Structure 1
Amino acid sequence: MPKTRAKTTTILEAIFPYGVISVKVRGPRAVNQNKKRKTGGGTVIGHYFNFICDTMDILDEHEEFKVCYIVMDNVPIHKNTDTEKEINRRGYGRVYLSPHSPELNPIEQFWSVSNLYAEFG
C-alpha cells in the first residue's frame, strides 16, 4: 500500500498577551517518497536553541520583559539541558505545561484564532 508523505512547514513562534514577539519559519522541504524511514531535516534542538536565544534577545530590549517566564510544552527539544541553562543564565523563568494539554497552551489558542481569520478573512 503506497504511503504519501506531505511537505511540512515548521513555525516556531513566541507570543505574549499583546501580540507576537518572534517567528521563525522552517520549510517546506522536499520529501523522498521512496524512503522507508523519515529523512533528517526536521526541527532539532539546535534550531530551537537558536530560536529561544533570538527571542530572549528581543525580550532583553524591553525592561518590562525582564521578569518573564518562558512557557513551553513538553516536547523533548524544549527540555534540553543547554536550553534550560541558557534561559536560567539570562534571568528568565521556565514553565512547562502538563503533557497532553493543548487547551492550556496559549500558542494553540493563538493558532485557532489565526486559522479562523485565514479561512474567513
Structure 2
Amino acid sequence: MAVKDAVGRYGEELVARTLAEDGWVVLARNWRCAHGEVDIVAAEGRELVFVEVKTRRSDAFGWPLAAVTRGKLARLRLLAGEWVVTEQRAWAGIRIDVVGVTLPRAGRAVIEHLRGVG
C-alpha cells in the first residue's frame, strides 16, 4: 500500500472512530457502486449522513477540506441517491458532510467537520 493510501485509510479510521464515540452509527465504509465510492455512510440519530474524508500530513498541498470540489460534491449527491434507492429505508433527513484530517509531525490529529455541505 502506498504511503498516500495508508494516510487516507488512517484518516478514515480516525473519523469513523470519532463519529462512533459521538454516538453515530457507522453503516458502511468505502461503499462502492458504479458511480464511485463514499468513505463513510453513517446515521446521526434518524439522519443519514454521507461523509467524505480528506486527510493530509501537512498543509503543503492545501487545506484538506479545499480538496472537495463542486464535481466531487455532485458525485457524492449521485452516490447518496444510489444508496437511498438500494437501502430503501426512511430517514428524517439526508446530508453530506466533509471531514478534514491533518496529521502533524507531532501531537494529535486535527479534525475539522463541516456539516451539510452538499
- Same fold by TM (over 0.5)? no
Bigger relative contact order, structure 1 or 2 (CA pairs below 8 A, ≥6 apart)? 2
Specify the TM-score bucket, using the shorter chain as the normaliser: 0.3 to 0.5
Which is strand-richer, 1 or 2? 2
Q: TM-score, normalised by structure 2?
A: 0.35
Which is helix-richer, 1 or 2? 1
Q: TM-score, normalised by structure 1?
A: 0.35
